[in-house]
Amino acid sequence: MIVLACPGQGSQTPGFLAPWIEQPAGRERIEAFADAAGVDLVAAGTTWDADAIRDTKIAQPLIVAAGLLAAETLAEARGGADAPQAGGVAGHSVGEITALVLAGVLSAEEGMRLVGVRGRAMADAAALEPTGMSAVVGGDEAAVLARIDELSLTPANHNGAGQIVAAGSLSALAELAEAAPRGARVIPLQVAGAFHTAYMSSAVSALQDAAADVTPAEPRISLWSNRDGSVVGSGDAALHLLVGQVASPVRWDLCMAGFADAGITGLIELAPAGTLVGLAKRGLRGVPTVAVKTPEDIGAAVALLQEETA
């Protein structure tokens, strides 16, 4: 089984969208996504600097739009919707919106509308109190989790491959960096707040209100949830989990375990790619991977899919 992986916030870099919109069709799709999300994605993805696109309400729609365009480009290269595609999909954090669209649970327009709401609501929630996130790499997992708990922080992302992201107050994160668990490195992340924690409760309410207008379809392919790495059984459940995920930890480690249990034979990370392939190389050793960073990487992704169906 080939799995499509959809990255989350922090994967964006200045100008990364430029090669994707060189053709009129790509630009038209991004403009349509921008209208649905309420964000100037063309400017954000081509000319805005790192600080501008770090803004949560910009970064989240930008990442989802890029992933959707990359997936559409890959499908066209494979021969359109009727050609065999990947057998499963999962997204990290905001990438779950991309994943729900690719699984057929949401339309692209619905996904972009929801990510616009999500990004604005999480930015508003982050502005209520100074908080942040730091990656803890290495060390004994039990000791890392104990230290995070001792400082009243939350393990917001369990990314696997020896990486846990702590979230909470800036003072507690500073203490964590000053006295890290033995063998661990603490790396502050350039994000606006403590995502996937109780600090995001107001954002959950906003996204719930927006989701009330959506009638989800049933997943067409296997769709793994960040909640516990399980395959989601229905569209209603997928939408419910998507809303709650805003204030719940991301268990990407369990998603990768789920891929392994399902017999994954390859992983394709959609744009803006790199992070999830890096985790897979350590957490899913031996599984072939492709990071679709630019349209030039589509050929390698097609080749991996062709190997699966040969």
The first and second tokens of residue 61, run together, are 């729609």
Annotated active-site residue 225? The verdict is no
Residue 238 identity:
A
Q: 196 to each of 2, 193, 216, 247, how far by Cα in Å?
A: 28, 9, 23, 4
For residue 38, give the amino acid letter.
Answer: G
Active-site residue, 158 included: no
Identify the CA nearest to 125 among candidates 208, 213, 64, 56. Answer: 56
Buried b / exposed e across 243-252, counting CB within 10 Å, b at 16+? bebbbbbbbb
Q: Which residues fall within 8 angstroms of residue 167, CB to CB, at 6 or more apart?
A: 131, 132, 133, 134, 153, 154, 155, 156, 194, 195, 196, 197, 199
Positive/negative CA dihedral, 29, 30, 35, 37: positive
φ and ψ at residue 47, rounded to 5 degrees = -120, -20
Residues 183 and 174: their CA atoms lie apart, in Å, by 17
Q: What are phi and psi of 157, to 5 degrees?
A: -130, 120
- Catalytic member of 11, 196, 222, 248: 196
Which of 93, 134, 222, 248 does the annotation list as catalytic?
93
Dist. CA 282–CA 73, nearest whole Å: 28
Q: Is 280 in contact with 55 (CB distance < 8 Å)?
A: no
Catalytic residues: 93, 196
